[in-house]
Structure 1
């Protein structure tokens, strides 16, 4: 099977549409250039239970990110683009190695900036026996064209809905259009993927888990996010699996943007109570102990 694919010469893979000539080795807003980079590939046990299960999620962390959030816990790879250059053939083998280790699924973390490379690798790996569900782990900042290109390759979307306020998303992610873009993207992935489907072992085989990370001092915006999640769920009950997260830790440049502390138990309880009041009960909540730095993996090129 050929591994040919087109490297963007005027990149529009993400909503930034920065136009970088990546075929000539230029880097885009996301930090990604013309050669695929991976920072870590290993079994990961800290996703939602229906993703990590008992054997772990076969998680591949890709270098670069279109959002560049000021508080990103993965900032060495997302903002600083740490990683190792690998071929498409090597990425296909990484997928197969994770399957051989017993992974429940293949979990692609921030893959959008490398979509052509990853689709080529998935095609190779499938031809060689890969048969696990594929998870797209995304910040929700995706174009409709990108979502359409993932059709037939992504089974599960592990997507964020971070903000509603344009002012807040501009401050935290330099993306004032975040909510407008993410709302359209999430509606597209729900239409593409359909309602959640579970295997006999309770593991998610297909569907959308929609995450929200509550930020300290900004729970009013969390309420607005939950309003939108509830509106989707009210219109089509069970169309998504909500996941309300408390794991915010003030990494990277968080203090410079006014969020240099962890969320309080009181703040998180208010967010959880609001979600329950809105009927978002068929999903996941976190213990406050999840806000610990040791839950962030070491980006040491494991498995690469």
Structure 2
């Protein structure tokens, strides 16, 4: 049975348009993310993330490297946004996240990209690093819904989110896919310039689960709603993986899916930190995989 994305009902009632207006108000004294820079992005001022009002898109297309529950047969319709609310020293996409490579697009352009991905048969619209461009993204969803967009929205985020902004996304986002990068606030500040990272992200993830619950799959094994958490394992437990997994096990439902990722490699400025200058070992990965299984987490790939 095909499940209608949540934003369709909001579009039909006019609430989706109201959300666009509410989100736009966050930009005049920017409070979209936890940095709360206070700049006026409508006037071209730029804060910590480096983004203006219009989204910057680095690339888009069907993506087959995501989790199987998103990829299916035809791929996840991925849109990579430039700039970021974090400054991870080991970022593997630093050309777009830190240096802003990409092209500015209007909400109308972005809506057309979403419709192109739907026409290609993609199972979802996968918004990668969307946080700082949320107002324009939701405006694009409004336009695309008017033109027939009917596939789930995936909010693929660093996890560093304001609960107040997330509440304005309730009923719009179908699948939340947050990273929980660090299980310690000081580590988040050191490696990502994200004050209070773990405490802020825990509250954000709890809000995401409140909205959409654990991960739900259709009869073909494709996700259509819920929360899927990613965690990148760092060498020598620098990410405090134990704290991250214990939080998930104790505070979230058993249906929330977790992907423990082993693809860390020293990118961007990682070699400036001796502790980050190597890949993780197979032994490290399997240790944390076993740790997650002992906690009875819903582990997926």
Q: Is the shorter-chain TM-score for this pair beyond 0.5, marking a shared fold? A: yes
Check conservation: 1:67, 1:173, Cα contact below 8 A.
yes
Matched residue, 2:176: 157
2:267 is the alignment partner of 1:248: no
Matched residue, 2:293: 276
Check conservation: 1:63, 1:81, Cα contact below 8 A.
yes
Matched residue, 1:203: 222
After TM superposition, give the deviation of residue 54 of structure 1 in Å.
1.6
Matched residue, 1:226: 245
In structure 2, distance between residues paired with 1:237 and 1:107: 24
Check conservation: 2:74, 2:122, Cα contact below 8 A.
yes
Check conservation: 2:63, 2:71, Cα contact below 8 A.
yes
Matched residue, 2:40: 21
After TM superposition, give the deviation of residue 268 of structure 1 in Å.
1.0
Matched residue, 2:164: 145
Across the aligned residues of Structure 1 and Structure 2, the Cα RMSD in angstroms comes to: 1.7
In structure 2, distance between residues paired with 1:120 and 1:33: 15
2:109 is the alignment partner of 1:93: no
After TM superposition, give the deviation of residue 273 of structure 1 in Å.
1.2
Check conservation: 2:62, 2:76, Cα contact below 8 A.
yes
2:93 is the alignment partner of 1:77: no
SS in 1 for 2:236: coil
Deviations 1:219-257 (A, max 9, x none): 671111111111134xx332x011111011211011113
TM-score using structure 1 length: 0.88
Residues 1-304 of structure 1: pairs in structure 2 closer than 5 A: 6=24, 8-218=27-237, 221-233=240-252, 236-238=253-255, 240-258=256-274, 259-280=276-297, 282-285=298-301
In structure 2, distance between residues paired with 1:36 and 1:278: 39
Check conservation: 2:159, 2:205, Cα contact below 8 A.
yes
Cα gap change, 1:26 to 1:237, in 2 (>3 Å): same
* Gap regions ≥5 residues in structure 1: 286-304
TM-score using structure 2 length: 0.89
Matched residue, 2:4: none
> Which deviates more, 129-138 or 165-174?
165-174
